[in-house]
Structure 1
Amino acid sequence: MSLHITGMIWARPTSDLDPQSGEAFQPDHIAELTLAHEAGGFDRVLAGYWTNAADGFLVLAHAAAVAKKIGFLIAHRPGFVAPTLAARKLATLDQLTGGRLALHVISGGEDADQRKDGDYADHAARYRRTDEFLSVLRRTWTADAPFDHQGEFYRAQQVWSDIRPRQPGGIPIFFGGASPAAIGVAGRHADVYALFGEPLADTAGVLQRVREGAASGRDIAFSWSNRPIIAATEKQAWEKAHAIRERALAKQQTQGTAGIQAGQAVNSQRLVGLAQRGELLDERLWTAMAGVLGGRGNSTALVGTAEQVARAMLRYRKIGVSHYILRGWDPLPDAVQYGAELIPLLRELAAAEDVGRVSVAAA
């Protein structure tokens, strides 16, 4: 099975542990962070979507200008850009990056956050809209003649795009969401289904639901997100983890956000539920930060030495995970550490496991 590692970049220094500082768009920071991931052996970097942050299309365009090998994953929320225009924007960026682009579709789990960009559609409507958006998007990329579309959310006549993705198979689509509506959309459209860092048994259950909901003949890959905390010894790794929690709590106290509530999104509620089950699950999956952050974003952590964390990650590979999204708590130094200590070992152990499986099969 293949192994893909994705990191994350921002337009300025960003952390759950320290207040943001400086200009909202810092090209030098984008370049430094992207190049650190490229040097560390990451396959892709993700530019997320936030209602207060710099535009991801332009962040990735700048990253692509300085990093010539690493791939890119852009987060996009349907509903704010017509799918025909989004198709051309994405195809243009794929051409600009030399075919290194993937799309991470986020329907939106928080009503209040959606309204910051003027979207008042409810949860169910957002997923119906995403379904229609992705159908029009793919058709725009592949149509051999102009077409008309009339649906619940979009209507267009004589749609045609001269620019197409550089990748022959089109731009890969990542998709996340744990609600039944999300699972249904994933089954029809996702090339890679992305889920947050849950325990093995919980993860296996979600993978099974997605596989059962997949349209006939569709083979979906799976991505698992985590924020590893590694150190030379397990004791030092746990000391580091506890220091991270203290820094996050101190930041919340400073900003007056202590005791934040669980997010509205189903994924957020699932992560908070994990924290309520226990701070430590599956030997080294630390859930405490999911409780501190209200389950928002990628907020669980595997804690231990690089080898302990790598072996824990590979247990997910045995149940079908082939992609990992790794985001550090201190993004730049953690990306450097992952590249130096974790990723080479992870690839080495995965290759050894693959050789072992081939040998057993041959025997």
Structure 2
Amino acid sequence: MAIEFIGFAATQETSESGPATPTATRNGGSPQPGAGHAPGPVVQPDYVHEVARVHEASGFDRVLVAHSSASPDGFTVADQVLTHTQGLGVLLAHRPGFVAPTLAARKFATLDAFHPGRVALHVITGGDDADQARDGDFTDKPTRYRRTDDFLDVVRKEWTATEPFDHDGEFYQVKGGFSAVRPAAPIPVYFGGASADAIRVGGKHADVYAFWGEPLAGIAERIRDVRAAAAPYGRNPRFSVSLRPIPAATETEAWERAREILRLTNERFGELRKAFNIDHSEQRGSQRLLEYAAQGEVHDKRLWTAIAKTTGAAGNSTALVGSYEQVAESLLDYVSLGVTTLLIRGFSPLADARDYGTLIDLVRSGAARDARTAPAALEDPVVPA
């Protein structure tokens, strides 16, 4: 199966590390600007359009449009990305519980009708009670995952039913539900979460199950858990890993850049945490990353946990540090476990998205080479015990 690359599309240039030192391209081009929090409005249309076009030119398949209680409307941002590119897709994050599932299904189907085959749903149930409360939701995590389960049952019915349907669930009741707009091809459902409840619900619904960047042994463990949860439903999900590559022409240069990013993050992140009320301490995924960070700063060949430790593992925060060839090799190690989607974003978002084209080419050529020498490797991966 082909490797899918997903980038990240925000509405302004921002990063944990704030203003970073310029970095030169691998091929000796002019230095690229750093990634500080951009001045001006939160929504900057020209930046959205540029970041979308850069991702498409670099060979990305999709970009993630993320969600939080303070974020701009994701559907509008996704439409801007799709309208200003030719084939780039979006992975649109959606948090169940605030929009009726029948309406949410039609919103996704309508977006897909204008941009066929380029839309995917990323289900974010919500692991932060405080962030949920900012939008008026005071349920606990187990309740939210039960609600997500019910939500997705209705969404799939709304997408597929050719006759009016009824639904009588714990959270949603529908009488005579029907949508005049349905996706011509199934809209893929990506699912994130590290708790037992997340794995239970994600195993039932996920087409792609998404993990943060843990060491290889941790990802292998989680793949086994999700496959076991999916088996009773006859499902065979694909898997995604999210990482923050820091490549350079040489390993030494990459580590110099990594240390500068860490220095700037230490200076800036307290300000960001206060401004945006960032606290992921309740999320099992963040807890797992912090546990790995406590065990050591570097895991496997070059998985670096220092940024996760500094930020409290606030989201996707583990990095791969090394030369372009070394980072590509480490990404292929995840592929060898059965991972088919790599969500990569940098600390200088626009410059790194441009630079990652080299990395994407190396990974895809390496995967093609591996497939020729071991044709069954990607189709039937052996996950170590």
Bucket of the pairwise TM-score, normalised by the shorter protein: over 0.9
Alignment of 1:300-315 (within 5 A): 300-315=318-333
Alignment of 1:203-282 (within 5 A): 203-214=219-230, 215-254=232-271, 257=274, 263-282=281-300
Aligned residue in 1 for 2:338: 320
Q: CA shift at 1:279, angstroms?
A: 0.6
Q: CA shift at 1:117, angstroms?
A: 0.7
TM-score by length of 2: 0.90
Q: Is the 8 A contact 1:262 1:272 kept in 2?
A: no
Aligned match for 1:51, one of 66, 69, 79:
69
Residues 142-168 of structure 1: per-residue CA shift (max 9 Å, x gap):
11211122221112211010000132x
- CA gap of 1:144–1:279, structure 2 versus 1, over 3 A, is same
Residues 207-247 of structure 1: per-residue CA shift (max 9 Å, x gap):
00001111342111000110000111101101100100111
- Separation of aligned partners in 2, 1:64 and 1:274: 37
- CA gap of 1:359–1:251, structure 2 versus 1, over 3 A, is closer
Q: CA shift at 1:359, angstroms?
A: 9.8
> 150-159 vs 197-206, which deviates more?
150-159
Question: Which residue identity lines up with residue 137 of structure 2 in the other structure?
Answer: D
Q: CA shift at 1:318, angstroms?
A: 1.0
Residues 61-104 of structure 1: per-residue CA shift (max 9 Å, x gap):
01111101111110000000000000100000111112210110
Identity score, percent: 49
Residues 181-227 of structure 1: per-residue CA shift (max 9 Å, x gap):
10011111000000000001111000000011113421110001100
Whether 2:336 is the aligned partner of 1:287: answer no
Structure 2 unaligned regions, length at least 5: 19-36, 378-385
Alignment of 1:77-226 (within 5 A): 77-167=95-185, 170-214=186-230, 215-226=232-243
Question: Which residue identity lines up with residue 240 of structure 2 in the other structure?
Answer: S
- CA gap of 1:253–1:121, structure 2 versus 1, over 3 A, is closer
- Separation of aligned partners in 2, 1:7 and 1:309: 16
- Separation of aligned partners in 2, 1:67 and 1:99: 14
Q: Is the 8 A contact 1:24 1:53 kept in 2?
A: no
Q: Is the 8 A contact 1:147 1:160 kept in 2?
A: yes
Q: Is the 8 A contact 2:62 2:91 kept in 1?
A: yes
Q: CA shift at 1:261, angstroms?
A: 6.6
- Separation of aligned partners in 1, 2:280 and 2:173: 37
Aligned residue in 1 for 2:315: 297
What secondary structure is seen at the aligned counterpart in 1 of 2:340? strand
Residues 30-81 of structure 1: per-residue CA shift (max 9 Å, x gap):
0000000000000111100021121110001011111011111100000000
Q: Is the 8 A contact 2:16 2:272 kept in 1?
A: no
Equivalent residues, number: 356
Aligned match for 2:362, one of 341, 345, 354:
345
Structure 1 unaligned regions, length at least 5: none
- CA gap of 1:283–1:237, structure 2 versus 1, over 3 A, is same
Q: CA shift at 1:14, angstroms?
A: 1.9
What secondary structure is seen at the aligned counterpart in 2 of 1:228? strand
Question: Which residue identity lines up with residue 207 of structure 1 in the other structure?
Answer: I
